[in-house]
Amino acid sequence: MGQDILSLCRRIQRIYADIDRETSRVRRITGLICPPGCGSCCRSRKVESTPLELLPMVHHLVNIHAADEIIAQIDGAEIRGDLQCVLFRPELDDSMAGCCSQYAHRPVLCRMFGFGARLNKFGDIQPHVCRVMHESQPEALERLIALGGEKKVPLYRSYFFRVASLKPDIGFKPLPINRALKLALNYYYWKKPKRFGIRLAS
């Protein structure tokens, strides 16, 4: 069973590598970038993921012995009623700026936001760009819109389904990011209970 979950993590990471190649291509073509030091999307209380998407991150957290600390942070956020992602690290001199402490292991939405597209209610492909990008880089945004089409702009739904289909029971229901991370920690714990001594999240 342990090997199964490690294999699952590797398969998810391969999909993430595909996403990164596609978003890098979009950046090269359009010139669109995340403003340096911007933590706008990380501060949102609406960030969601599935537990499945977070398994590679959990594997990393366990390996660096940081899982217990993350569980404690999630528990504290739940007590405060704070929905902001516990992985966000604000700048010491500017709480509005910051970065993801686990950027290399971030889930699908976090990888694609600003550089991918969604389908609107009419089935048309529309770029999914944050407010900060929209206001600060209008020319780059126009180039992104001009790309058009799923083959030129990566579609969020396509990558979401690629990951979700690997393990549908924990892959198809997006949850608030901290809740999803807590469930992913629990799932990983039960699949590898002997080798890793992380505390079970309640």
Q: In the chain, where are the structural domains located? A: 2-191
Other residues' Cβ atoms within 10 Å of the Cβ of residue 112? 25
Amino acid found at 2: G
Mean pLDDT, residues 40-46: 89
Amino acid found at 42: C
Residue 49 pLDDT greater than 60, yes or no: yes
pLDDT at position 121, please?
A: 85
Nearest CA to 169 out of 187, 182, 192, 185 is that of: 187
Name the DSSP letter for residue 90.
Answer: E
pLDDT at position 195, please?
A: 47
User: Which pTM was predicted?
Assistant: 0.89
Mean pLDDT, residues 64-71: 94
pLDDT per residue as tens digits for the range 124-170: 888 887 888 889 999 998 888 888 665 688 999 999 999 999 999 99
Task: Using DSSP, state whether 66 is helix, strand or coil.
Answer: coil
Nearest CA to 77 out of 108, 45, 104, 109 is that of: 45
Residue 43: band (very low, low, confident or very high) from pLDDT cuts 50, 70, 90: confident
Distance CA 116, CA 33 (A): 12
